Amino acid sequence: MSSKQSTIDFILDQIADTNMIRAKKMFGEYAIYYHEKVIALVCDDQLFIKPTKAGKAFINNYIEDIPYPGAKPYLLISGDLLEDSEWLTHLVRLTASELPEPKKKRPKK
């Protein structure tokens, strides 16, 4: 089952840095980019944040789950945590700060 556009719109609206965040549709689901880094996936209308040490420490009592069969575990964010814009924005910033810079793409010939 694919995610609804309304779910994506809600999640993006919750994150304060709206000019630095975007979603890209992939195979019926979505990748969330922050400063051009993939920091999360939205699958079946659920938000999965890439696991980082800082993110796990910030959440403290986190739930890990897989966004799709064969994927590595991500941090599942749901319920009241999705409603807390300040909390979610802080988690996104922490996660992005620990992820490597995206690799430069070679120009097409």
- What are 60-101's pLDDT values in tens digits? 899 999 999 999 999 999 888 999 999 999 999 999 999 998
Q: What's residue 50's pLDDT?
A: 98
Angle in degrees, 0-180, between the axes of helices 5-14 and 85-98, rounded to the nearest 10: 90
Q: What's residue 74's pLDDT?
A: 98
Q: What's residue 16's pLDDT?
A: 80
Q: Residue 1: which pLDDT band, with cuts at 50, 70 and 90?
A: low
Residue-wise pLDDT for 19-68, tens only, equals 889 999 988 899 999 999 999 999 999 999 999 999 999 998 999 999 99
Q: For domain 5-98, which CATH number applies: 1.10.287, 2.60.40, 3.30.200, 3.30.1460? A: 3.30.1460
pTM as predicted: 0.90
Q: What's residue 18's pLDDT?
A: 72
CA 80 to CA 4: how far, in whole Å? 19
